[in-house]
Chains A and B, each alone.
Chain A
């Protein structure tokens, strides 16, 4: 086999098998972490800090209507989970942020 073919072959193996294996292992570990949190405290926050900011920004832009109510319910769900649970699923920058 030519050197170029070997480089392409190895790169393809890394880009496909490597990424797929890492994605599967990481995803299963994260879901196991969720399971532990659910068993220990019955709940965890559904949104990451960045995803929570997205909800807040969306509500600032669309404060009225049924869709806004749906977003508010999600935000409330997130805040309750943050307040009620000692351990969080996502990494939060500070204790202050955790108690938002």
Chain B
């Protein structure tokens, strides 16, 4: 069979070589350029967590000692995992459910793909509120609110977080933006935006870092982040924090790399771009955030472990006190908004691609269906921060590790890691991946995911038993429920097929 690309860009080599004889084929859009794909995938992975979490996790866990643990786990776990997920997407050239159908056959196991899809939709339902916060603050930076004399940023945060209508409004604006960009397609929407937004984010963070380093007392921030406390290397908590940052900030196993990989050309490289650059590039933004945020944090005596309030209260206040604060606030909050928006596009695209393929409808209709669904589901999180916190608690502790576990077991055991490495991972690759990669996908990552879920269960059961048990119950019920839904859908399709006389 032959691939027929819908792309008409004459510079798109993926289009040209898509006529190469191959084994799995459907007509679909492709990335327009290598730079565009790299920016889109890095934009998907760089989000709010890179900017406010990476700096203080580094400082809290032994500085340099944490970074060593982090690098080891990044290269041993995250890089191989991302390679596998991207390779599977490129091989099947389909979204989540289509990929699971191709691997497991047309049976109830396809429901596992539906489980991951549901996690993505729920994740986006509350992440949209975070995008809304960043839009609101970027707007205030633009009109110069933070540089007004005697302006109280804590009061702004309080009034904003208690204003339900405003939060729903910002959630709505965020979803309208995501919808508008996704309607323009993979190349015309996601890729075009990422090609502008990621370089702007990089320049913004570099500029803020240079300004921050010139402030009196700024070096204490770098000392806090990088000073190596070797005792931490022997602590389990350091390695767990490093593992959490390496896995969750790279978005491994959520279906994003799989979906973006499905739009790659047959002979495009995966190991270097989809694996090493994605994981290391994503972390590079975390390091850039250390330079951009921590000198300012220490120069103004801000607590480095403030979480979201670090950006929305403490930093906003610090910008107001700095010379040229208008520019620095605008650069920071615009960059922060770009980071959140490109991640939101990726999470939503997982649902859009799958919906378009499964329902066999035009992309524009799939975008509208998924975005309206996410908008509706996101209203409770926009109104009540406790709901947002609960969903984040359940998904972060067990939902996303479970999704990663399912995808890695699918790659390693059901599809066969050896076959995937030969058929897809090393095809057109700029870097040959040897067979040692297979053990990481088969054993290391699934076992680590089980360990993480067990640890979070053990550590949360005492503190929040109701939250923990209810969340786990919902998650455990998701698997048989999704399998049942897929089984019923297949039975429905079979009966339609027989009624239509389609049995041959």
- List residues of chain A with CB under 8 Å of any chain B CB: 1-2, 4-9, 12-13, 15-17, 19-20, 23-24, 26-28, 30-32, 34-35, 38-39, 42-44, 46-48, 50-51, 54-55, 58, 67, 70-71, 73-74, 76-77
Contact = CB atoms under 8 A, between A and B. Distances in A.
Contacts of B427: 46-47, 51, 74
Contacts of A48: 426, 429, 432
Q: Which 5 pairs from chain A and chain B are nearest by CB?
A: A8-B64, A51-B426, A31-B34, A35-B13, A5-B227
12 contacts: A1-B226, A5-B223, A16-B283, A17-B287, A19-B276, A27-B38, A28-B34, A30-B430, A35-B11, A50-B426, A51-B427, A58-B422
A30 B222 CA distance: 36
A19 B280 contact: yes
Nearest to A32: B34
Nearest to B435: A54
B272 interface: yes
Given A23-B280, A27-B269, A38-B13, A12 B38 contact: no
A30 B402 CA distance: 36
A24 B223 CA distance: 30
A16 B276 CA distance: 10
A47 B426 contact: yes
Contacts of B283: 16
Given A5-B64, A44-B267, A46-B267, A77 B280 contact: no
Interface stretch (B14-22, B166-174, B255-263, B330-338): B14-22
Contact of B35 (A13, A16, A28, A70): A28
A20 to B, nearest CB: 4
B439 interface: no
Given A2-B223, A74-B423, A42 B228 contact: no
B382 interface: no
Interface residues of B, number: 48
B248 interface: no
A38 B272 CA distance: 21
B280 A8 contact: no
Given A4-B228, A9-B222, A54-B422, A27 B277 contact: yes
B481 interface: no
A7 B223 CA distance: 11
B80 interface: no
B422 A27 contact: no
Given A8-B67, A28-B35, A48-B429, A16 B16 contact: no
A23 B281 contact: yes
Main secondary structure, interface of B, reads helix
A53 to B, nearest CB: 10
B284 A16 contact: yes
A76 B20 CA distance: 11
Interface string B21-54: 1110000000000110010000000000000000
Given A5-B222, A8-B227, A30-B269, A50 B432 contact: yes
Contacts of B35: 28
A17 B273 CA distance: 15
B13 A34 contact: yes
Given A2-B227, A5-B63, A51 B17 contact: no
A68 to B, nearest CB: 11
B269 A8 contact: no
A6 B222 CA distance: 9
B223 A46 contact: no
A68 B431 CA distance: 25
Contacts of A9: 222, 225-226
Contacts, number: 133
A1 to B, nearest CB: 5
A1 B267 contact: no
Nearest to B433: A51
A4 B397 CA distance: 35
B107 interface: no
A20 B281 CA distance: 5
Nearest to B276: A23
A27 B222 contact: no
Contacts of B422: 51, 54-55, 58, 71
B384 to A, nearest CB: 38
A30 B11 CA distance: 15
B428 interface: yes
A77 B284 contact: no
B263 to A, nearest CB: 15
A42 B13 CA distance: 10
Contacts of B22: 73-74, 77
B198 to A, nearest CB: 11
Nearest to B35: A28
Given A23-B281, A38-B16, A70-B423, 7 more contacts: A2-B223, A8-B227, A19-B280, A32-B34, A35-B11, A35-B13, A54-B422
Contacts of A76: 21
B48 to A, nearest CB: 19
B272 A27 contact: yes
Contacts of A42: 16
Contacts of B227: 1-2, 4-5, 8
Nearest to A61: B418
Interface in B57-105: 63-64, 67, 71
B219 interface: yes
A24 B17 contact: no
B494 to A, nearest CB: 23
Contact of B272 (A2, A4, A26, A51): A26
Contacts of B287: 12-13, 16-17
